[in-house]
Structures are given as C-alpha cells and as structure tokens.
Amino acid sequence: MVYNTEQLSLQPSKPPHGFLQQLLTKGKVFPFTKANDTIALSLARETMPTQAKETKGNGKPSFWTEESLDSESLSGWSQLYFFMVGLAKILLVLLLPLAYSVFLYPLLFGYASWDKRLDDWLMVSYGLTLYFTLPCLLIWAHYKLVCKGYYFLAPFLKRKPVYSLNRQTGMVTLYKRGNKVRFTHPFIEFDCVLMSAPSPQGHLNYNLMLVHRYQPYSVGVPISNLIGTNERVVEYQRLWNMIQRYMDVSQPMPDLLVLEEARAKDPVTAAHDQQTGRDPRYWRDMSDDTYKKTLAKIAEKQKTSPATGPKINIFADD
C-alpha cells in the first residue's frame, strides 16, 4: 500500500499495548506531516561528490534509490576483517618501524663482536619480517584491492540487511538474523519515536525509531542509524521529514546527492525536475569545496525555516 498524502487511508486509533511496547514508545513522538524540502545536513555531509563518483566507478549500488532505502550492517566476519586491517596499518606505520629501530641499536652500539651482533640482528629482523611485516603487508594489499573494486577477493565481506523502506510499495521491512524478515507493514502504520538516554559521559544519545502502532513488537526500525546518535533534536526532525517526503509518492524525492542519479527514474520526481528546470547533475558536478559551501548556505537558511511541513491527521476518529 503506497503512502500518498493526497489519498490517505485513514488509520484506526492506537490500541493499548503491554509493558515492553510501552517502553519502546516512551519518547517524543513526531507527527506525520506534509513534508517540506528540509534535509538532514548530517546525512548530506557524509558523501562528497568525489566519493559518489568513486562509488559509481566501482559498480557498488547505492543504498538509497528511487525504489527503496536499504540499511545494512557488517557481518561478524566483516567486523573482524576491518579490525585486522586497522591493526595492520598501526603496526606498519608505527610499531614495526619502531621495533626495527630498537633492534638496530645493539647492532651499531653493542659490546659483542660485529659478527655476533649482525647475526643477532638478522635473526630478529627475519622474525619480525616473516611473522609481522609480511602478514601486515598482505592484509593491507588485500584491503586496497578490495577498495579498488575487486570484491571477489573478499566473499566474506557480506553485509546483512537491517531494514528497508520501499517507496514504490509503501512498505517498511525489518530483518532479523539469517536475513529473514522480522516484520513488514505499510509505512503509515508506524509511529516515529525519538528516544533519549544519557551516555557514560553525561551527554544525551538519541535513537529515532519507527515503531509499529498496532502490533506489540519489542523492537523498532532504527532509522537514526542514518545520522548517528549525537545530533540535535531538530536534525532528527529533519530526518523524519526527509523519510516522509521519500515515502510520499505524491511528492518528489528529497534533493540529495545520494539520490540525484535516481531522480530521473522516479516519475513524480522527474516531472517535478522538468517543470522546475532543475539541473540533473546539480550535485554531482560540484567540487567537494563547492559542495561544502552549498551545504553551509542551506544550513543558514534552515536555521529560520521549519524542520517539517504542516501536520496532517492520519486517524479516522480524530
């Protein structure tokens, strides 16, 4: 069931739920609105034009298209791999050069004979090279090849789906272990709830979730993973505004770099762009510096503009 604010299917009121559901919905509920053109700048800043070109060149599909917004997370093996890559980089850049230097000192200034010192240094250097330097170099070389697009070298780097928001069907899907569907329901059946909790440092961490209104699920759809947990409240309102605009087939998709290539493939968005004369490569042809300056101008403009559009009533009995 597509989500169309011009032809809304009015919803029944929310039924009472149990304790777990009450905990899940204990937070600030953002209402449904007729979304405006406000964007979440924290999301827009994550991808630069040069990065978008590199991603396209690698043949890697976008997580956000005219069809769906698909969120994925790393598998356990992927997390282990990137930990090893990070460790290899630290060893190659910092620790191994230091180790070679430390063991070079006895060779140059030791009290034993030159032959004895040279033999000791060669033995230690051989061990360092064989058991540390070469493995680190192999791991780093493998990582650079994968970054170049040779994904067949890393079949274990499989991502697992977290959730999907489908513009064409209007459905929201949450996945569970084994890439199985936990639930799938129409977008209009979800409440958007902003929850907060103090961090160990005393700061507030936020979690923006889509919580199903009519089923007592103990989990929600964590859409705040698009921007993180440490943004201002207004940024989560803008994110919710963008999500609504994306799912609303009566409106063009949000004007973002990550969605620019997909705009021509969505009929409503393409018609809007043709009517307004929007440059189809407005974002993609910018330099990174121009892109940052443009986002800064948008940030100034959004300081005095509402984070969302006017509230709409989605319930039949209100």
pLDDT of residue 45: 94
Does 223 fall in a domain? yes
Distance CA 190, CA 32 (A): 10
**223-249 pLDDT tens trace:** 999 999 889 999 999 999 999 999 999
**pTM of the complete model:** 0.80
Does 280 fall in a domain? yes
Angstrom CA distances, 3 to 249, 257, 307, stand at 6, 23, 21
**Contacts of 281 by beta carbon, 8 Å cutoff, 6+ apart:** 260
pLDDT of residue 1: 85
Partners of 313 in the beta sheet?
none
| Whole-number percent of the chain with pLDDT over 70 | 89
Shared domain check, 90 and 227:
no
Shared domain check, 200 and 69:
yes
pLDDT of residue 116: 65
Shared domain check, 32 and 102:
no
Contact 40, 235 (CB under 8 A): yes
Distance CA 256, CA 291 (A): 11
> How many domains would you assign to the chain?
2
Q: Tokens 């330099």 appear where?
A: 287
Does 11 fall in a domain? no
Does 290 fall in a domain? yes
Give the up-direction half-sphere exposure of residue 293: CA atoms within 13 A in the CB hemisphere: 5
**97-144 pLDDT tens trace:** 888 888 776 666 656 565 666 777 788 888 888 889 999 999 999 988
Shared domain check, 184 and 101:
no
Distance CA 88, CA 92 (A): 6
Q: In what order do the strands lie in the sheet with 159-166?
A: 68-74, 159-166, 171-176, 180-186
Question: Quick one: which of 207, 237, 212, 235 has its CA closest to 222?
Answer: 207
Does 315 fall in a domain? no
Does 307 fall in a domain? no
Highest mean pLDDT, choosing among 24-33, 213-222, 248-257: 248-257
Does 1 fall in a domain? no
**109-119 pLDDT tens trace:** 656 565 666 77
DSSP one-letter string for the chain: --B-TTS--PBPPPPP--HHHHHHT-SEEEPPB---S---HHHHTT--HHHHHHHHHTTPPPSB-SSEEEEEEE-HHHHHHHHHHHHHHHIIIIIHHHHHHHHHHHHHH-SS-HHHHHHHHHHHHHHHIIIIIHHHHHHHHHHHHHHTT-GGG-TT--EEEEEEEETTT-EEEEEEGGGEEEEEEEGGGEEEEEEEEE-TTSPEEEEEEEEESSS--S--B-GGGGT-SSS-HHHHHHHHHHHHHHHBTTSPPP--HHHHTTGGGSHHHHHHHHHHT--TTTTTTS-HHHHHHHHHHHHHHHTTS-SS--B---BTT-
Shared domain check, 192 and 92:
no
Shared domain check, 218 and 119:
no
Shared domain check, 190 and 289:
yes
How many C-beta atoms surround the C-beta of residue 79 within 10 A? 11
Shared domain check, 190 and 144:
no
Segments forming the whole domain that contains residue 29: 19-74+162-302
Shared domain check, 169 and 243:
yes
Shared domain check, 235 and 87:
no
Does 6 fall in a domain? no
166 band by pLDDT with thresholds 50, 70 and 90: very high
Question: Quick one: which of 162, 172, 254 has its CA closest to 2?
Answer: 172
The pLDDT of 274-284, averaged and rounded, is: 96
Shared domain check, 256 and 146:
no
Shared domain check, 294 and 202:
yes
